[in-house]
Amino acid sequence: MSLTPTNPQETKDDKRISPDDGLFAVLDESELEFFSDQTGIKDGDELKKHILEIRAEAWKIHPYHCIRVFAFARFKLNRFPAYKDLLKLGKERPGALFLDLGCCLGHDVRKAVADGFPINQAIGSDLHSEFWDIGHKLFKTTPETFPLAFIPADIFDPASLAPAPLPTSVPTDPLPPLTTLTSLNPLRGRLSAIHASALFHLFTEEKQLELAKLIAPLLSPEPGSFIFGAHGGLPVKGERERVNSHGIHMFCHSPETWKELWEKQVFPEGQVRVDAFLLDRKIWRPDGGERKEPALVWTVTRL
């Protein structure tokens, strides 16, 4: 597959998502090969054109920063320390369920399935159901050829996910087929793993705590179940100057305050262990340059 970029060409719909040469500056060889294998597109220029067309379509749904900088196509899941534990759960825990929350176009959950997590035990969820449809276009699949369950959810709407107490045991009543679910509520206490990246930093400090308290009851109380992800972080909690796609300054926790949130405010002390650290990540800029921002990488594990 040729990886030689074509000449820069501005996107007609919005100049803020150009130049298109950024695609090859951002995606590494393994990511390009994944998209080539999944789509069947072997020519580098043709693959580039296809991804850029999908990007422009996704941008019209909602102009998230992750769309602008190609993060919707960059692997996150398999770079986390907890990824090997996710795949292990999929192989060793009978019926282990995995939720990719805020999955966007679904490339990360597809990567997990490609690496061995059972497709009939994985679930994608996003506020914008159109993203999932565009994901099928991106990967040239259909709900029939790639029958992974998707649940559209406004996480703060009780119809999607209502507040609930933390479960003390794993539910034993039968769960309807995942592809028939229309909300996250039936999944309470049943999820072995939840991935939530580039999600919490969309909200204020107060809303981040509310979000954590909404998600926590979904997690199975079985020891070894975990929630993991990454988002903007700081050495000392506070706001970044940059305004996010929701029109607010990004509030960032530190590893210490993030640990305190989960271990003392969301779960009773002694029920979970939180591992969190800051990692400098390179962010591609549309002008062709790069900047570095600290990301908070974290895992919350039931004990």
Torsional sign, CA 26, 31, 35, 36: positive
The number of beta carbons lying within 10 Å of the beta carbon of residue 94 is 5
The number of beta carbons lying within 10 Å of the beta carbon of residue 114 is 13
> Environment class of residue 76 by beta-carbon count within 10 Å: exposed (0-12), middle (13-18) or buried (19+)?
buried
CATH number for the domain formed by residue range(s) 77-302? 3.40.50.150
Report d(CA 151, CA 143) in Å as an integer. 13
User: What is the reported pLDDT for 281?
Assistant: 72
User: What is the reported pLDDT for 14?
Assistant: 42
- Domains of the chain, by residue range, sit at 15-73, 77-302
Grouped pLDDT means (10 residues each) for the chain, 303 residues: 30 44 73 94 92 92 85 89 97 97 96 97 96 96 97 96 96 95 97 96 95 98 97 91 65 97 97 95 58 88 98
User: What is the reported pLDDT for 208?
Assistant: 97
Residue 72 Cα distances to 14, 45, 123, angstroms: 18, 19, 17
In sequence order, what are the residues at sequence separation of 6 or more whose Cβ sits closer than 8 angstroms to the Cβ of residue 100? Answer: 77, 106, 108, 109, 112, 122, 123, 124, 125, 195
> Environment class of residue 79 by beta-carbon count within 10 Å: exposed (0-12), middle (13-18) or buried (19+)?
exposed
User: What is the reported pLDDT for 12?
Assistant: 36
User: What is the reported pLDDT for 65?
Assistant: 80
Quick check: bond before 19 cis, omega within 30?
yes
Residue tagged 């004990």 (tokens): 303
Structure tokens at 261: 């949130």
Residue 24 has phi, psi (to 5 degrees) of -80, -15
Structure tokens at 249: 């300054």
Residue ranges of alpha helices (H) inside the chain are 22-26, 29-39, 44-61, 65-68, 83-92, 107-114, 129-139, 205-215, 255-260
Report d(CA 131, CA 215) in Å as an integer. 21
Report d(CA 185, CA 199) in Å as an integer. 19
In sequence order, what are the residues at sequence separation of 6 or more whose Cβ sits closer than 8 angstroms to the Cβ of residue 93? Answer: 192, 222, 224
User: What is the reported pLDDT for 162?
Assistant: 97
Q: Enter the DSSP assignment of 176.
A: P
User: What is the reported pLDDT for 20?
Assistant: 55
User: What is the reported pLDDT for 28?
Assistant: 86
Name the residue among 155, 275, 256 with its Cα closest to residue 215.
Answer: 155
